[in-house]
Structure formats: C-alpha cells, structure tokens
C-alpha cells in the first residue's frame, strides 16, 4: 500500500506515515506498558462522559440556562456513573477508580474544551436549576 493511501485511510498527513514507516523497527522493539487495556477503558469512559457533558452544556446554553461549575461537576459525575453502569455489564475491563468531578478536573475540562465561553460569570449560583437529563 502506498504512503498516500495510508494517509487517507488513517486521516493523517503523509509525512506522519513516512516517519512511522522509517521508525518501524524502533517502534516494534518498544516495550509496551502492562495493563494498558485498563487505561484505554478509563480513557473511553472519560472521553464519552465529556462528550455527553458538552452536549448537555450546549442544550442548556441554547435554553438560556445558567450553569455553574458545581452543576457541571455534578452532571459529569452522574453521566460517568450511568456510563460505568452500562459498560460494567458488558466488560470486565472497566476502571474501578471513581470519577470525583474535582475542581482540578473541571479546570482541565475547561482548557480541553473551551467551555469558558459557555459559562456565565457574575450571575447568582442560586439561579441554577436542578441537574436533570
């Protein structure tokens, strides 16, 4: 298969494919960390939770609702628990760590997603409605 074909299949630049092919031997000899499937399962849960959370936030923004950081963290925990319940029945690889929805997670979530544009500042947190689906 040609480099350009691989680039189209993997939706990446041809230079990336060329670099990978040039370092093929080095990559094949690399030691892979044990237990990586657990990290992948956790990564999937977090990614899916954050995707669903972004959809929820966008719906609230469209409705004109005010969303505080505390409400976002609570909703994130709720979504995470729902996903974990759904996946735990079908996979033994679900991470046993609990998602805490901490302020640190929230700050990093804002950086990753740019939701600071969705948050309304200077408005009373008491105007937040209850967390609902």
Q: Please give the structure tokens belonging to residue 125.
A: 């947190």
Helices (H), 1-133: 3-9, 14-22, 24-29, 36-63, 69-88, 103-113
Considering only residues 127 and 43, tell me which one the structure prediction assigns the higher pLDDT.
Answer: 43
Average pLDDT of the segment spanning 106-126: 69
Residues 6+ apart with CB under 8 A from 77: 99, 100, 101
- Confidence (pLDDT) at 34: 56
Mean pLDDT for the chain overall: 77
Q: Of 38-42, 50-54, 96-100, 104-108, where does mean pLDDT reach its minimum?
A: 38-42
* pLDDT above 80: residue 110: yes
Report pLDDT digits (tens) over 10-48: 888 888 889 888 988 887 887 765 554 444 445 778 889
Give dist(CA 99, CA 79) in Å, integer: 10
Tokens 């409400």 belong to which residue?
71
Percent of the chain with pLDDT over 70: 71
Q: Give the best-scoring range by mean pLDDT among 1-15, 59-73, 95-109.
A: 59-73
Tokens 């990564």 belong to which residue?
43
Give dist(CA 36, CA 39) in Å, integer: 5
- Confidence (pLDDT) at 106: 92
- Confidence (pLDDT) at 103: 92
């Amino acid at each position: 298969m040609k480099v350009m074909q691989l680039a189209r299949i993997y939706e990446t630049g041809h230079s990336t494919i060329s670099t990978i092919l040039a370092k093929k031997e080095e990559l094949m000899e690399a030691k892979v960390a044990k237990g990586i499937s657990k990290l992948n399962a956790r990564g999937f849960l977090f990614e899916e939770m954050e995707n669903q959370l972004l959809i929820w936030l966008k719906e609230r923004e469209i409705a004109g609702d005010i969303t505080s950081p505390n409400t976002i963290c609570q909703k994130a925990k709720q979504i995470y628990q729902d996903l974990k319940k759904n996946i735990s029945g079908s996979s033994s690889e679900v991470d046993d760590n609990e998602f805490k929805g901490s302020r640190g997670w929230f700050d990093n979530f804002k950086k990753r997603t740019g939701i600071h544009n969705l948050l309304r500042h200077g408005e009373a947190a008491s105007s937040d409605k209850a967390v609902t689906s």
